[in-house]
Amino acid sequence: MNPDDLIPLAQHALWVLVLTITPVVLPALVIGLLIGMVQAATSINEATLAFVPKLIVTLACLGLFGAVMVRLLTDFFTEIFERIPDMAR
């Protein structure tokens, strides 16, 4: 296997990683930011007030986008396993 063949593979792996985690992390980040702004404006320092909505949003996003994420990862790993004979040469 040539090192030049590894760079596109690593780039593709990172792109799949970004596409997989974005639908879950981005909404949780936005909710956390909004709740943090509300907490700063009202001086309420309660940890569960920030944690519970982020947990609910994360679970909802996993429910909505979970099948797409699994399909993306399955396609990627299938492609990797199909490339193994070519990489061994």
Percent of the chain predicted with pLDDT > 70: 99
Q: Which residues contact 46 (CB under 8 A, 6 or more apart)?
A: 39
Instruction: Name the residue among 12, 13, 23, 9 with its Cα closest to residue 68.
Output: 23
Instruction: Name the residue among 2, 3, 13 with its Cα closest to residue 77.
Output: 13
Residue 77: pLDDT over 90: yes
Question: For position 32, what pLDDT does the model report?
Answer: 92
Q: Which residue has the higher pLDDT, 71 or 5?
A: 71
Question: For position 71, what pLDDT does the model report?
Answer: 97
Residue 64: pLDDT over 90: yes
